[in-house]
A and B are shown apart, each in its own frame.
Chain A
Amino acid sequence: MTQPTKQHQYFIIGGGGRVGYFLARSLLAAHHEVVLLEKDPRRVAELNRELGDVVERGDACEVKTLEGAGAVRADYLLAVTGEDEDNLVMCQVAKAGFTRKPDKVCRTIARVNNIANIKLFEQLGTDVIVSPTQNILDAIGTEIPLPTVAHISPPGNSGDVHLVEVRVAGDAAARGKPLATLGLQKPNEVILLIRGTENFTPVGAFTLQAGDKLFAVVNDKGQQILQRSLLGGQG
């Protein structure tokens, strides 16, 4: 916070909602130059009281407003209103509405709510897209222990031996611990572990992470151990 970042940069933030406010506060704390643009005069007064005089009243989608805010020399435009259309347009206007020195680019970062619009924003030249909706969906995908313990071999068919698939839950007891601490004994064996795009046979010292997918050959006892230590939430 007190240490200036390597380079002092100029940020224009479009939209003085909560996201815009916290961004401005953080960037100012990191000693960057910031102008926050907000349409609603009441909100402008409120923000200026809290942030000091860095808030200007205006529509960040308008060339004139961006011009007044010094868009030609801005390093970043952060488009963070609650409306996708406004965020898209301010990014496009910031890029196409100004003539800059060839070495001077303004990177645009946009918040996108409708995930159906993410691809379009990418195609239309927004440099970075942040979608809270997508982020939360991704989080759900890794957090929910789905399917609990899936049987690959039909249970009961091969006596007390099962081939199972388990995903390490976000609140699993074994998270961050070496595989060996699960207490899986001999005939029980984790034969394959998939993490991201990689897959391998883990050694006992291998540390488990949420989201890891395990394939194991286990007996009933081994299966209970996996359930207890990997599924979390008393699954």
Chain B
Amino acid sequence: MAKPNGVPSVCIMGCGRVGAMLAERFHDLHYAVHVIDLNAEAFGRLNDREVREHHTTQGDGTDPEVLERAGIGDADIFIAVTNGDNRNILAAQVAKRQFEVKKVICRIYDPKRHEIYGKLGIQSICPTIIGADTIFAAVTGEPLGAGLALYVGEEQRGS
């Protein structure tokens, strides 16, 4: 929560496999990491004891009050990776609009919603497209075409 001078601060919503892995990676990079999950047991996925014991908040990350408790006010980056597309979408918009977090990214499984929110200025990654493309490439031997730009929704200036 407390941010040592100059160290980027990242708030991660959803402590599933992806959330936990991201938390570890950013922690290794010496970012200030904070993780939110509805279920406190999910924090067991965090290997680093310091993160697990001191940088977690149990609660619903679509609730601005919970985000505030998790220190989103100081966060430079907000990542929404719960299992619910809509929860991720709502939380991302709260982070962006209400707390004006600079970098906000969320996971959207549904390719259609991924596309729509890209147009609305919400940056997202779509594991469905990434998975299908990767498997397709592995089977056909074709290279992984257009690269990540395809999977990361264009960040446009939404009004």
Which of A62, A83, A85, A116 interacts with B110 by CB under 8 Å? A62
Which of B84, B91, B113 interacts with A93 by CB under 8 Å? B113
Chain B residues numbered 53-97 whose CB sits less than 8 Å from any CB in chain A: 62-65, 84-87, 89-91, 93-94, 97
Chain A residues numbered 60-76 whose CB sits less than 8 Å from any CB in chain B: 61-64
Number of interface residues of B (CB under 8 A): 22
Judge if B21 is at the interface, Cβ distance under 8 Å. no
B64, A61: Cβ atoms under 8 Å?
no
A88, B86: Cβ atoms under 8 Å?
yes
Interface segment among A117-125, A155-163, A172-180: the answer is: A117-125
A89, B86: Cβ atoms under 8 Å?
yes
Nearest CB on B from A86, distance (A): 5
Total number of A-B contacts with CB less than 8 angstroms? 59
A86 touching B86 in the complex, CB below 8 Å, given contacts A61-B113, A114-B63, A124-B93: yes
Assembly CA distance A93 to B113 (angstroms): 7
A85, B112: Cβ atoms under 8 Å?
no
Assembly CA distance A96 to B85 (angstroms): 17
Which of B62, B110, B112, B117 interacts with A84 by CB under 8 Å? B62
Interface SS, A side: helix
Judge if A97 is at the interface, Cβ distance under 8 Å. yes
Q: Which residues from chain A contact B140 at a C-beta distance below 8 Å?
A: none
Judge if A92 is at the interface, Cβ distance under 8 Å. yes
Which of B84, B94, B112 interacts with A62 by CB under 8 Å? B112
Which of B62, B87, B120 interacts with A92 by CB under 8 Å? B120
Interface string of B21-55 (1 = CB under 8 A from A): 00000000000000000000000000000000000
A residues within 8 Å of B by Cβ? 61-64, 83-86, 88-89, 92-93, 96-97, 114, 116-117, 119-120, 123-124
- In the complex, the 9 A-B pairs of residues with the closest C-beta atoms, listed nearest first: A85-B90, A85-B86, A63-B112, A89-B86, A116-B64, A85-B87, A97-B116, A96-B116, A86-B86
B residues within 8 Å of A by Cβ? 62-65, 84-87, 89-91, 93-94, 97-98, 110, 112-113, 116-117, 119-120
Q: Can you report 12 residue pairs joining A to B where beta carbons are below 8 Å apart?
A: A61-B86, A63-B112, A84-B62, A84-B90, A85-B89, A88-B90, A92-B89, A93-B116, A96-B120, A114-B63, A116-B64, A117-B62
Q: A61-B86, A86-B86, A116-B65 are in contact. List 5 more A-B contacts (CB 8 A).
A: A85-B86, A89-B86, A89-B90, A92-B117, A93-B116
